[in-house]
Amino acid sequence: MNIWHKKSIQELQEEAVSDIGLRKVLNAQDLIMMGIGAIVGAGIFVLTGQAAAKYAGPAIVLSFVFAGGASAFTGLCYAEFASMIPISGSAYTYAYATMGQMFAWFIGWDLLLEYSIGAAAVSIGWSGYFVSLLNQIGIHIPPQFTAAFGTEQIYLSGEHLERLQLPFPPGWYELNNYSAALKTAGISLEDLPRITAVCNLPAFFIVSILTALLVKGIRESAFVNGVIVVLKLAVIVIVIVTGIAFVNTSNWTPFIPPNSGKFGEFGWSGILRGAAVVFFAYVGFDAVSTAAQESRNPSRDMPIGIIGSLIVCTVLYVLMGLVITGIVPYSKLNVADPVAVAMDVIGIHWLAIVVKLGAIAGLTSVILILLLSQPRIVSSIARDRLLPSCFARIHPRFGTPVITTILSGFVVGLIAALAPLDVLGELVSVGTLAAFIVVCAAVLILRHKQPNAPRPFRTPWVPWVPLAGICFCLYLFISLPYDAWLRLVSWLLIGLAIYFFYGAKRAAQ
């Protein structure tokens, strides 16, 4: 048993060109669409307003630029590895080449957490938008089947919402979100209809549908993702183009509001804090690297897919930030749906429905790409004998990792149906940042140990770019709540037990 065993670059490159059954059908455009599909979710419709109202003001556009730059530091490191070692294992494979088997296992185990919990969390968000849209058109799903198991929900009438000063339609709402406000408004819980949820059925439904699509094939999945991405980009462009005509430039003054006296509340420190918040609107580009073995020309196209998607998303985020803060004073944007609020301000109410459709489309593609990525990580780990070989099996007709795709979809569907959103969100962040730090460090290690190895794409300005990526991710990592760290450590300890009692022994045989 050699827990520090490393795979050579030559060995990995030979593995990359071997025929394992995956179909090489993706081009650069497909990879850019995958990146945009994974990155642009509901974040553009939510985080823009909240970060502007609480931290940066109209200078939220600078926060997006800084966050995009910080993402690019990590993205450039991913691009170097994805072009050099075009294997679907992503950060797991890069760690295997630079840090050894045990460290690679930990990162692979961490990626399973990131993609599983990420897909489940986004599915819960998708369910919220979907249920809201159905309610608007007069279709009502019983509230027992729209939230996590055990979630208490209350019915708020128009009168109650008016007393709470909430601009929402009458309906069922989670008690935990409004208990303090109800007490302040003098509304007794005994006077409100109340139920306990059984499961989140729409979240399970969307995971099941997308899992079936992913079993069918990568080409079909890429086509559906492309259609969804075009739809949500069209919605974003419509909002931007429509909103420009209603921008009041006085809302941009002062562009950088003076600091309130506390670090992170406006001023330049607020711009940096805003960048930390909106950084998570860029997470997802790493999923592109998991499709490396299904790319026709990965050495050229993987960097294009990763960097290209980051550039497109940064431009969209900046334009959206300018339009929203130009229409509505930034102080009024600390709401869950700032884009819909802006559309109401300019009197175009039908666009609020379009925004919801855009958010649903955005979330659908994010779920799709996360569900696509996880089975490919599992297959890579299984090919290295650290997991049962059945997980590496490729369907002879569809050319997809069918067992891991179905198993992943089932597990993610259960989590989405039964678990609350707030617990899941922090786990996604801590898992993602850990993987980003490892990839940046791996570039430094490999440049030192094998400076002359062929690299179709080279990260510029090494060591400064990887070091900048590590520092920014560490800053975000330590800012996360203690509970998130504790859950990550617990997950890694489970992984450690599996590694020593199964994976390491089997890999040594």
Question: Which pLDDT score is estimated for 1?
Answer: 62
Residue 26 has φ and ψ, to the nearest 5°, of -90, 135
Question: Which pLDDT score is estimated for 164?
Answer: 80
Cβ atoms of 381 and 390 within 8 Å: the answer is no
Question: Which pLDDT score is estimated for 416?
Answer: 92
pLDDT band per the 50, 70, 90 thresholds, residue 336? low
Q: How far apart are CA 201 and CA 27, in angstroms?
A: 35
Which of 13, 77, 22 lies closest to 379 in space, CA to CA? 22
Which of 247, 337, 232, 341 lies closest to 58 in space, CA to CA? 247
Percent of the chain with pLDDT over 90: 40
Cβ atoms of 169 and 329 within 8 Å: the answer is no
Question: Given strand 171-174, what is the order of strands in its sheet?
Answer: 171-174, 152-156, 194-196
**Does pLDDT of 19 surpass 70?**
no
Residues 219-235 have pLDDT tens digits of 889 899 999 999 989 98
- Of the ranges 14-18, 55-59, 147-151, 335-339, which is most confident? 55-59
From residue 390, alpha-carbon distances to 168, 378, 395 in Å are 49, 10, 11
Question: Which pLDDT score is estimated for 337?
Answer: 67
3-state secondary structure of 174: strand
Question: Which pLDDT score is estimated for 20?
Answer: 64
Q: pTM for the whole thing?
A: 0.86
| Residue ranges of domains in the chain, CATH in brackets | 9-138+201-508 (1.20.1740.10), 152-196 (no CATH)
**Does pLDDT of 468 surpass 90?**
yes
**Does pLDDT of 450 surpass 80?**
yes
Q: Where are the alpha helices (DSSP H) in 18-157?
A: 28-39, 43-51, 60-84, 91-98, 101-136
State the burial class of residue 186 (Cβ atoms within 10 Å of its Cβ: 0-12, 13-18, 19+): exposed
Cβ-based neighbours of 50, under 8 Å, separated by 6 or more: 277, 333, 334, 335, 338
Structure tokens at 148: 């996590």
**Does pLDDT of 254 surpass 80?**
yes
Cβ-based neighbours of 450, under 8 Å, separated by 6 or more: 9
Cβ atoms of 299 and 64 within 8 Å: the answer is no
Determine the average pLDDT of the residues in 93-113.
91
CA angle 217, 311, 430 (to 5 degrees): 70
Amino acid at residue number 312? V
Determine the average pLDDT of the residues in 70-78.
92
- Of the ranges 11-15, 50-54, 192-196, 411-415, which is most confident? 411-415
Q: Which residue has the tokens 């950084």?
A: 279
3-state secondary structure of 295: strand
pLDDT band per the 50, 70, 90 thresholds, residue 422? low
Q: 281 versus 461: which is more confidently predicted?
A: 461
Question: Which pLDDT score is estimated for 424?
Answer: 66
Q: What residues does 196 pair with on adjacent strands?
A: 152
**Does pLDDT of 115 surpass 80?**
yes
Determine the average pLDDT of the residues in 181-210.
89
Residues 290-329 have pLDDT tens digits of 888 888 888 899 999 999 999 999 999 999 999 999 998 8
Question: Which pLDDT score is estimated for 208?
Answer: 97
**Does pLDDT of 415 surpass 90?**
yes
* Cα four-point dihedral sign 307, 302, 403, 374: negative
Residue 195 has φ and ψ, to the nearest 5°, of -140, 165
Q: Which residue has the tokens 């990995």?
A: 12
Q: How far apart are CA 271 and CA 51, in angstroms?
A: 9
Structure tokens at 371: 């569900």
Q: 84 versus 347: which is more confidently predicted?
A: 84
Lowest-pLDDT choice from 290-304, 351-365, 394-408: 351-365
**Does pLDDT of 182 surpass 70?**
yes
Amino acid at residue number 10? Q
Cβ atoms of 426 and 480 within 8 Å: the answer is yes
